[in-house]
A = this chain, B = another copy of it.
Amino acid sequence: MTHFSRRSFIAASALAAGAMALPSAGRAAAPLARAQGPGAYRYKLGQFELTALYDGTWFLPIDGKFVRNASGGAVNAALAKAFLPPNILPISFTALLVNTGKQLVLIDTGSAGQLADTAGFMNANLAAGGVKAGDIDTILISHFHPDHIDGLKTKDGDKVFPNAQIFVPEPEWTFWMDDGNQSRASGSVLGYFRNARRIFADIAKEAQRFKPGAELVPGIVSLPAYGHTPGHTAFAIHSGNQSLLAMSDTVRNPELFARHPDWQPIFDMDGALSVKTRRRMLDRAAADRMLVEAYHFPFPACGHMVKTATGYELVPSMWQPL
């Protein structure tokens, strides 16, 4: 065969195939799948088996006010550096399942499709990972924003994880369930108050309040990480000689808030305290070369942090067999 145009190539191929028609010629058009593949990524941590569970991505239109202390131009430049289009923030949701060998622990619960059409796949991905919702016996909640707690209940108010003991940060509960605080709230924050009541009011007795700092399950220690919300909590997971720092929302999109740790997204309720918490945690993660995980990191949402001259870079974990 010599070099040829597409037309002559097809002719030449047909010739080479002799009387036989090319298989593609007589075949019906292949149907498009029109759906993403499963998002359940498993990795070992000592004796524990961890599963990153992709819930979806919320494509949030943003304007020049999304980061309180950075211009819309600077934010769009950071998005462009990550090969992302301007004025839209892709907010990825990934929950973390920890099988300690004795307990099946879920950290945060996904959005259950109550936030965006492009999210709410966590339970399907849990099933793809071979786990039933009824198998989960412990749920740890980092904070009360809807994308972290909505998965606890269906839109109709039914429990999604009927056998799970739910642990919530005490300062988070105290803040969001306080009627005085709610009476002073407005806009989206008022929505968060109402949503927290929708989820928790009738299971108040079952939800175990914990003080951040406590070990909640053997090997899983809660860590105060206040700022994003008043009781926002991270988790350190230890097994054998390995550790992982589950940062929750301490660092959101890494292309914005790891690279620019001082930037304050409007979702950080106390911007200055959030920056302090973020820098402290990222410094620790980078200095100790810790494996980290964060709810809004791109799936599978785990990797390592490297300190640079101006901020931090996420080095995503390489997808591997278990």
A: which residues have CB within 8 A of B?
1-6, 9, 13, 16-17, 22-24, 27, 29-30, 32-42, 49, 51, 54, 56-57, 82-84, 90, 92, 99-104, 118-119, 121, 125, 128-131, 135, 137-138, 163-165, 170, 208-211, 213-218, 289, 298-300, 303-304, 315-322
- Distance between Cα atoms of A50 and B213 in the complex (Å): 45
Which residue on B lies nearest to A17, using beta carbons?
B208
**Which B residues are in CB contact (< 8 Å) with A300?**
319
Docked-complex contact B318 and A316, CB < 8 angstroms? no
Q: Evaluate contact between A49 and B33: CB separation under 8 angstroms.
A: yes
On whether the beta carbons of B38 and A51 are closer than 8 Å, the reply is: no
Contact partners of A317 in chain B: CB under 8 A: 83
- Is there an interface contact between B99 and A30, defined as CB atoms closer than 8 Å? yes
Contact across chains for A208 and B3 when beta carbons are under 8 A apart: no
Query: Whose C-beta in chain B lies nearest to the C-beta of A163?
Result: B23
Name A214's contact: one of B4, B37, B92 (CB within 8 Å).
B4
Q: Shortest Cβ distance from A92 into chain B, in angstroms?
A: 7
30 contacts between A and B (CB under 8 A): A3-B214, A4-B211, A4-B214, A6-B214, A16-B209, A23-B165, A24-B217, A27-B137, A33-B42, A33-B130, A33-B322, A34-B49, A34-B322, A35-B42, A35-B322, A36-B41, A36-B42, A36-B321, A36-B322, A37-B39, A37-B42, A37-B51, A83-B289, A83-B304, A84-B318, A90-B318, A92-B318, A92-B319, A300-B319, A316-B316
Shortest beta-carbon contacts, A-B, top 10: A37-B40, A299-B319, A30-B104, A6-B215, A298-B318, A38-B38, A118-B321, A83-B304, A36-B322, A32-B49
CA distance A211 to B13 in the complex (A): 11
Closest B residue, CB atoms, query A8: B214
Verify A54–B209 contact, CB threshold 8 A.
no
- Knowing that A13-B208, A54-B319 touch, tell me 9 more A-B residue pairs with CB under 8 angstroms: A3-B214, A4-B211, A23-B165, A32-B49, A33-B131, A36-B322, A57-B318, A82-B318, A83-B304
List B contacts of A38 (CB < 8 A).
37-38, 40, 128
**A211 to B1, alpha carbons, bound, how many Å?**
7
Residues of B within 8 A of A3 (CB): 211, 213-214
Complex alpha-carbon distance, A49 and B36, angstroms: 10
Whether A214 lies near B30 (C-beta < 8 A) is no
Contact at B315–A82, with CB atoms within 8 Å?
yes
Contact B24 A99 (CB under 8 A): no
Given known A-B contacts A23-B137, A24-B138, A208-B13, A37 and B129 have beta carbons under 8 A apart = yes
